[in-house]
């Protein structure tokens, strides 16, 4: 049993999508619960991947292939999580703000959030304020994550926060922001609840916002 979990864990650390998918299938065949596979295999491994990234041992490419390996296993696990009625640690809506097509960093944040146990609704890029508002309503999300890579589109963050306020949702949902031109000072200035400089810290921030 533990050998299978270890294969999932190692497969994610090595970014070996096929190995992870095979080990998850093996775990399912061995009647392991989806919760055990997720927590002891995938989430534990993604936590370690985040740690290695923060320590400068892994870089963005390693983070990406680890997250993709995790997603291979996630595909098999998702129907089981639904069947077992496993509650996600939280629900989060993410997107790149209006006018901005950069989505590599946002996608990475989404994958790390999934790895941390969140149910992620990814609205893609060039997302206008109303679309964020509608998604928060329809998914009952506790957190919204906005990404911007252009100094010219950053200002669509405060306007989205205003739209959440106007819709009466601002006290129900935490807002976190990120992207290369962003700073903690800017996040504070626009009244966001948090800022993180990278995908690993974004997952930690989201966990702290829902706890
Ligand atoms: C790749 C890229 C593109 C690609 C995007 C492809 C894609 N699908 O994303 C393409 C070619 C399409 C592109 C287009 C443009 N780009 Co461009 N692009 C880049 C580039 C080289 C890399 C961005 C990237 O992916 N980085 C890697 C990821 C992993 O890092 P990241 O995005 O910062 O994300 C991390 C963190 O910021 C954080 N994070 C990100 N989002 C979030 C969200 C939350 C909630 C949290 C907590 C954290 C978080 O976590 C992530 C992972 O660790 C940057 C230069 C750079 N070094 O940043 C320029 C750059 C961003 N682009 C720039 C420009 C000017 C443009 C264009 C206007 C160019 C043009 N004249 O057409 C267009 C604009 C298109 C548009 N409307 O969006 C400028 C912006 C300058 C500025 N001051 O605004 C930059 C800085 C290049 C430069 N030095 O001039 N670009």
Q: Is residue 17 within 6 Å of ligand 1 at its C-beta?
A: no
Q: Is residue 180 within 6 Å of ligand 1 at its C-beta?
A: yes
How would you class 131 by CB atoms within 10 Å of its CB: exposed for 0-12, middle for 13-18, buried for 19 or more? Answer: middle
Whose Cα sits closest to atom 91 in ligand 1? 102
98 and 184 both lie in a single domain: yes
Q: What is the pLDDT of residue 132?
A: 98
Domain that holds residue 169: 90-210
Q: How confident is the model at residue 52 (pLDDT cuts 50, 70, 90)?
A: very high
Give the SS3 label for residue 90.
strand
List the beta bridge partners of residue 96: 147
CATH number at residue 111: 3.40.50.280
Q: How confident is the model at residue 83 (pLDDT cuts 50, 70, 90)?
A: confident
Question: Does residue 123 carry a pLDDT above 80?
Answer: yes
- Indicate the Cα dihedral angle 158, 128, 174, 41, nearest 10°: -130
56 and 122 both lie in a single domain: no
Q: Mean pLDDT across the stretch 135-158?
A: 98
Neighbour count for residue 71 (Cβ, 10 Å)? 18
Q: How confident is the model at residue 85 (pLDDT cuts 50, 70, 90)?
A: confident
Q: What is the pLDDT of residue 84?
A: 85
Which residue, chain included where needed, has tokens 């995908």?
199
194 and 102 both lie in a single domain: yes
Q: What is the pLDDT of residues 156-168, one digit of tens each?
A: 999 999 999 999 9
109 and 65 both lie in a single domain: no
Q: Mean pLDDT across the stretch 28-36?
A: 93
How many angstroms separate the alpha carbon of residue 97 from the centre of ligand 1? 12
Q: What is the pLDDT of residue 140?
A: 97
Q: Mean pLDDT across the stretch 70-97?
A: 91
Q: What percent of the chain has pLDDT over 70?
A: 100
Q: Is residue 105 within 6 Å of ligand 1 at its C-beta?
A: yes
Q: What is the pLDDT of residue 1?
A: 64
Alpha carbon distance 50, 59 (integer Å)? 10
Which residue, 54, 83, 112, sits at the end of a domain?
A: 83
The structure's pTM equals 0.92
């Amino acid at each position: 049993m533990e050998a299978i979990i270890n294969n999932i864990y190692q497969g994610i650390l090595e970014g070996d999508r096929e190995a992870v998918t095979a080990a998850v299938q093996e775990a399912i065949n061995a009647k392991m619960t989806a919760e055990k596979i997720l927590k002891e295999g995938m989430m534990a491994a993604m936590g370690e991947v985040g740690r290695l990234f923060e320590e400068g041992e892994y870089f963005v490419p390693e983070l990406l292939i680890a997250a993709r390996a995790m997603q291979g296993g996630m595909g098999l696990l998702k129907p089981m999580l639904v069947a077992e009625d496993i509650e996600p640690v939280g629900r989060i809506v993410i997107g790149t703000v209006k006018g901005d097509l950069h989505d590599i960093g946002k996608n990475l944040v989404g994958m790390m959030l999934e790895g941390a146990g969140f149910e992620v609704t990814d609205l893609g890029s060039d997302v206008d304020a109303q679309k964020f508002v509608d998604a928060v309503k329809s998914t009952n999300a506790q957190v919204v994550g906005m990404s911007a890579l252009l100094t010219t589109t950053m200002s669509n963050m405060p306007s989205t926060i205003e739209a959440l306020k106007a819709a009466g949702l601002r006290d129900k949902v935490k807002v976190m922001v990120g992207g290369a031109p962003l700073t903690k000072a800017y996040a504070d200035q626009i009244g966001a609840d948090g800022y993180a400089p990278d995908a690993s810290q974004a997952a930690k921030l989201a966990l702290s916002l829902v706890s």
